[in-house]
Amino acid sequence: MRSFLQAVPSLNRRSFLRVGTAAAGGLLAALFFDRPANAQEAAPPPPPKNYPPDAFVHVRPDGQIVITVNRVELGQGIQTALPMVLADEMDADWSRVVAEIAPAGEVYKDPILGIQIVGGSSSIPNSFQQYRELGAKMRAMLVAAAADRWHVTADQCRAENSVVYGPGTRSASYAELSTEAAGKAVPEKVRLKDPSQFKIIGQRVRRLDGKAKCDGSQKFGMDVDLPGMKIALVARPPVFGGRVRALDDKDSRSIAGVVDVFEIPLAHGTGVAVVADRFWPAKQARDRLKIDWDLSGIEHADSAELRGRYKKLARTAGLVAISRGDPAAMDRIPAERRVIAEFDFPYLAHTPMEPLNVTVRFDGDRAEAWTTTQMPTFEQLAVAGILGVKPDQVTFHVGFGGGAFGRRGSLDEHVIREAAVIAKRFPRAPVKLIWTREDDVRGGYYRPLFAHRVEIGLGKDGMPLAWKHVVVGQSFLIGSKFEPLAVKNGVDPLLVEGAANAGYSIPNFQVWEHHPKVSVPVLWWRSVGNSHNSFVVETLIDELAARARIDPIAYRLKLLDADAKKQRAVLALLQEKAGWRGSLPPSHAAGIACTEYYGTAVACAVDVSIENNRPRIHRATMAIHCGIAVNPLTLENQCQGGIGFGLTQLMAKGAITLKGGRVEQRNFDGYTPPYMVDAPVTADVHIVPSTDAPTGAGEAPVPAISPAVVNALSRLTGRRYRSLPLTTI
C-alpha cells in the first residue's frame, strides 16, 4: 500500500486507498492555485520532465561536488541519502560530495506529485529514480566531454571516483572536465546501473550533516540572524477560536526593547502580537499583556466529553471504508467465540525539539522568507498572498529543521501566515516569529483523539472469520486542499489506514469511520493513521493468538494474506533474530507486533519488565523491509528513533487533554515524551535484503512499538490495555 502522497499505482489487494492517485500532481497544484487568496495566479506549468542537472549538481573547479536536495532535512537523513543515489550513478568521489537544501522552486517539486513536499515517507520512493537519472546524465555528459577531448568514443571511456579514464593512460578529473561537460546536450535517456553495480547505495554511510550537528555550527531556522531583525511572539486565545475583546498593553510597552503590540488575525480566532528587538523582552511583554478574551459562541472542546461521545458513536456503523465478505456473518458466530473491544486514544502533540519559527522580511515589492517547512511552495504562496506580491517575488529559503514529525507540514500554513501579517507592518525589517514551547504544546494541530470499537468472530480453530471495526476521530483532510484528492464518498482514508489494510486475511471484514467536527485543530502525526489503528489491530491479534494458544509470530504468519510478502519476510527475520524471546527471566515478557506502512513492513519484538510501575524496555529487535536500503546506517538510526517516537503514546503523561476548551498541558512538564530511561536500552535492527524499488522509512518504524510493549505487559499482568496513555499498569 502507498499513500496518496506517493501516488504510484499499487497492484496489491489493499487498493482502496488508491484514490485519485493518477492525477495527483496536476490535481494538487490546481487545487492549491484555485484557492481564493491566490486566484490572481495562473496554474503553474507542470515540473519539467527532463530536469536540468545543473539545478541539482555543481562540480566545482576544486573537485567538490555540490548536490542540491529537493527535500528538507528534518533528521530523516535525506540530505545524505539522495546525494548517495545521485553520486553512485554519477560515479562521483563520495568524499568530495556536499549537500544543499533546495529553496522553494518549480524544478524541486516532487517528480510524481508536482508539489514540493516532505511527507508520507515519499522522498525516497518518489525521488530515487529521479536522482539516479540525474547522476547518470551528469556522468554521461562528463564522459562525453572527455571523449571529445581525446577524440575517442564514449564507449572507450569509463568513469570511477570522479575521474574519466580513456584508452591508454588518458585520464581527466570531473573538475577538469566540468566546463566542457556543461556545454554538452543533456541526454534524454541514460542507462542506469544494475543494483549489483552500486558502490555507494547500500553502504553504511555516515551523515553529511553529522559533524556540524555535533559542534554547534549547524544553523536551524531558529538561528537565523539578520541585521535589524525583530522578534515576534503572539498571545493566542485560551480556547481555540477565541477573540480579543479588549487589550491593555501599558505594562508591556514599558519594557525596554519592545517595539510594538497589536492585534492580529489567527487561523482560529485573533491574537496579540508583541514585537521586540530580542526574545526576552518580547516574552516578558507578552506575559504582562492584559487581554479580555471573547470566548462566547465558540466550542469549548473537552477531552472527557469527546471520549464519551466518540465511544457512543463507535457503537454505530458509520461511513463504509471497506467491506469484504458478508456483514451478517458475525450474527452466525456464537457469543462465546466473539470478542468485543473498545479503545480510546488522546490528542498528541508533535513537539519537535526546535520550536516553530519563521523569519520574513517584506521590502514593499519583494519579500524574503527563511523557514523549515515540509511544503515550501505552499508556504511561499501563502506569504505572497498576504504581502500582495507574486510568489516568485518571495525568495524562499528552506533551512534545516529540528524535527517535524508532521508539524511543519500544516495544511493551512498558519505559522508563516502569522509571520507575514506581522512582517508587513515593518517594511525592510526582518521579523522572526517564534512559537514558544508553551505555544507549541497548547497551540493545536494535534494527532486527533480517537475511539475504536472492534467486534471479532472466531472460528473453532481460533482464527477470525468476521471482523467489524469502527473508527471515530476528526479528519484534517476534509476541508483542506487535499480533500478532493484523497477523500471519496466522504471517507477519509487516513482515519482507517493500518486498520482497513492491515494485511490479514479475514473473510468477512468491515471497517467504518465517523469523523465528527470539533474545533481543536488537528494534523498528521508521524505514521498518521497507523499510530492508533496498528495499536488496535496488533494488540487484538495478539489477544487472539493467546486465546488460540498459538505463538504470536506463528499466528500472524497463519493469518496474513498470501501476498503480504514483506510482512512475512520481516516476521521470518524477526523469528530468527529474536531468539532471546525463549530465554527471558521470569519477571520479563516478550511482546511482538508487525505493521506495514506505505509499502514498508516492520516487525518488532521487545523484552519488557515492570519497574516503578512503568514498562522498562530492556531490548528491542526490529526487522524492516523497505526494498533497496539506500543507507543502512541511517535506516538503523531511523528504526531506533521510530521506536522511541512511537513510545510517546505509552508515556504516563503522553496525552494532550482539554477541559472546558482549554488545553491542560503547557510544556514538557505536563506533556512528557520519552526520555532515555523510557526508550529501549538496546535496539538491534535487521534489514531484509532486497533489490525491490525502495519504499520510505521515516514513519514505518513508529507504529509497531507501542502494541509490542503493551502485548508484553499483558503477558506480565494478564490485563488488556485499551485506553491510552498508560497512566497505570
Partner 1 sequence: MTTYQLTVNGERKEVAVDPGTPLLWVLREELKLTGTKYGCGIGACGACTVHLGGIATRSCLVPVSLIGDRAIVTIEGIAGDAAGRAVQEAWVDKDVVQCGYCQSGQIMSAVALLKAVPRPTDADIEQSMGGNLCRCATYVRIREAIKSAAGQP
Binding footprint of partner 1 on the chain (CB under 8 A): 73-77, 206-207, 209-220, 222-223, 225, 256-257, 278-281, 284, 351-355, 400-403, 405, 436-438, 633-634, 637-638, 640-645, 647, 667-669, 673-677, 679-683
**Cα angle value 107/108/111 (rounded, 5°):** 85
In the complex, the smallest distance separating the C-beta of residue 218 from partner 1, rounded to whole angstroms, is 6
In the complex with partner 1, which residue's Cβ is closer, 33 or 279?
Answer: 279
Q: Which is nearer to partner 1, 11 or 214 (CB)?
A: 214
Q: Which CB atom, from 269 or from 401, has the smaller least distance to partner 1?
A: 401
Residue 495 gets which letter from DSSP? H
Cis upstream peptide for 327 (omega within 30°): no
Question: What is the spatial distance between Cα 568 and Cα 580, in angstroms, rounded to a whole number?
Answer: 20
Among residues 123 and 270, whose Cβ is nearest to partner 1?
Answer: 123
Minimum distance, C-beta of residue 75 to partner 1, in the bound complex (Å): 3
> Nearest distance from residue 661's CB to partner 1, in Å?
24
Instruction: Compute the least distance from the CB of residue 321 to partner 1, in Å.
Output: 31
In the complex with partner 1, the residue whose CB is nearer, 6 or 76, is 76
Burial of residue 309, with CB atoms counted within 10 A of its CB: 0-12 exposed, 13-18 middle, 19 or more buried: middle
Query: What cell was used for 197?
Result: 553495480
**Nearer CB in complex with partner 1: 76/130:** 76
Q: Residue 257 has which C-alpha cell? A: 526593547
> Which one, of 294, 235, 292, lies nearest residue 263 by Cα?
235
Nearer to partner 1, 475 or 706 (CB): 706
DSSP one-letter string for 46-93: PPPSS--GGGTEEE-TTS-EEEEESS--SSS-HHHHHHHHHHHHHT--
DSSP-assigned letter for residue 672: -
d(CA 6, CA 121): 8
Q: Which is nearer to partner 1, 257 or 507 (CB)?
A: 257
Of 270 and 648, CB closest to partner 1: 648
The CB-of-602 to partner 1 minimum distance in angstroms stands at 15
Comparison of 24 and 528: residue with beta carbon closer to partner 1: 528
CA distance 423 to 281: 18
Q: How far is the CB of 133 from partner 1 (least distance, A)?
A: 28
Toward partner 1, which CB reaches closer, 682 or 691? Answer: 682
CB of 473 to partner 1, least distance (A): 23
212-216 LR contacts (CB < 8 Å, sep 24+): none
Maximum Cα–Cα distance for the chain, whole Å?
Answer: 85
- 10 Å CB burial of residue 581 (0-12, 13-18, 19+) is buried
The answer to whether 558 touches 463, Cβ cutoff 8 Å, is: yes
Tell me the closest approach of the beta carbon of residue 544 to partner 1, in angstroms.
30
Compute the least distance from the CB of residue 353 to partner 1, in Å: 4
Query: Where is 539: in which H helix or E strand?
Result: helix 530-547
Nearest approach, Cβ of residue 408 and partner 1 (Å): 11
Amino acid (one-letter) located at 302: D
Q: Shortest approach of partner 1 to residue 144 CB, angstroms?
A: 37
Q: Is 142 exposed, middle or buried (0-12, 13-18, 19+ CB in 10 A)?
A: buried
CA 553 to chain centre: 28
For residues 329 and 337, the answer to whether their CB atoms sit within 8 Å is no
Residues 120, 598: contact at Cβ < 8 Å?
Answer: yes
Question: At its nearest, how many Å lie between partner 1 and the CB of residue 213?
Answer: 3
Q: What angle do CA 430, 432, 434 make, to 5 degrees?
A: 170
Minimum separation from the CB atom of position 206 to partner 1 (A): 5
CB atoms within 10 A of CB 414: 18
Contact (CB, 8 A) for 552 and 513: no
3-state class of 35 per DSSP? coil
If DSSP codes are grouped into helix, strand and coil, which group holds residue 451? strand
Q: With respect to partner 1, which residue has the nearer C-beta, 293 or 405?
A: 405
Query: What's the min distance (Å) between Cβ of 207 and partner 1?
Result: 6
Q: Which helix (H) or strand (E) holds 345?
A: strand 338-345
First and final C-alpha spacing in the chain: 35
Distance separating alpha carbons of residues 308 and 255, to the nearest angstrom = 46
Nearer to partner 1, 341 or 633 (CB): 633
Question: Quick check: 71 and 119 in contact, CB under 8 A?
Answer: no
Identify which of residues 32 and 597 has a Cβ nearer to partner 1 in the complex. 597
Q: What letter does residue 407 receive in the DSSP assignment?
A: T
Residue 208 or 537 having the CB closest to partner 1: 208
Q: How far is the CB of 93 from partner 1 (least distance, A)?
A: 20
